[in-house]
Amino acid sequence: LKVGDDFLVSNGVGTIFLCKVLDVNRRDLVYSAIEKKVESNEKLFKTTVACGVLGSQSRMEWMVEKLTEIGVNEILFYHNTRSKKKTLNISRLNKTVVSALKQSRKAFLPEINEWAFNDLIQLNYKLKLAAICDENEYNHVSTFNDQESLMLIGPEGDFSSQEIELLLENDFKPCTLGNERLRSETAAIYALTCLNAYMLKE
């Protein structure tokens, strides 16, 4: 960018400004807001996606990038009995989310938070879904629709039988993502796409 160029700035909480560069040096870029291009007090996307902490940081970064581009309210990571990775670099994930927000010109920046499984499942949402891979027949995720939902994706190796019981006791509705067995990050992206597509049809 050089002096006089126009560019967009998102504040991450609902407003995108058209701005003009006033000065550029080695350490700073000085700009002035010209007009508001987008302003919203209500987020367009209401789905929160929760996924078990993956063994690979790069796979988690790829997942949060795509979830942000598609449109997600919040991204949650949880630890459970099958979690292979005990630490989570939220700082790196947040940098990935900011980059994706700028690339896709979103007005809202999704938050990333970390939870223990037993605490996560007690959160209150109008609709709580859990993608479960077992021999039972469940409704496909695309048949559900709500303005505020939590989409829970199983960890690598899926939920244990005890965890499935806890999910049902805490008002989660089991659902399927189809006949294919998906990796956790792929499942999260697929589920969010289905839910957003349904909501946008309404």
Give the rounded percent of residues in the chain with a pLDDT score beyond 70: 96
Q: What is the mean pLDDT of residues 97-108?
A: 94
Looking at residue 6, its pLDDT comes to 95
Q: What is the mean pLDDT of residues 11-26?
A: 93
Count CB atoms within 10 A of the CB of residue 10: 20
CB distance 31 to 6 below 8 Å = no
Looking at residue 63, its pLDDT comes to 97
Average pLDDT taken over every residue of the chain: 91
Looking at residue 65, its pLDDT comes to 97
Q: How far apart are CA 81 and CA 187, in angstroms?
A: 20
Looking at residue 49, its pLDDT comes to 97
Looking at residue 200, its pLDDT comes to 58
Looking at residue 158, its pLDDT comes to 82
Question: What's the CA angle centered on 17, arms 193 and 31, to 5 degrees?
Answer: 130
Residue with tokens 């160029």: 5
Tell me the sheet residues that pair with 50. 76, 152
pTM of the model: 0.88
When comparing pLDDT for 163 and 1, which is higher? Answer: 163
Contacts of 84 (CB under 8 A, 6+ apart): 53, 54, 55, 156
Per-residue pLDDT reduced to its tens digit, 165-198: 999 999 999 999 998 889 999 999 999 999 988 6
Show the tokens assigned to 48.
Answer: 């929160």
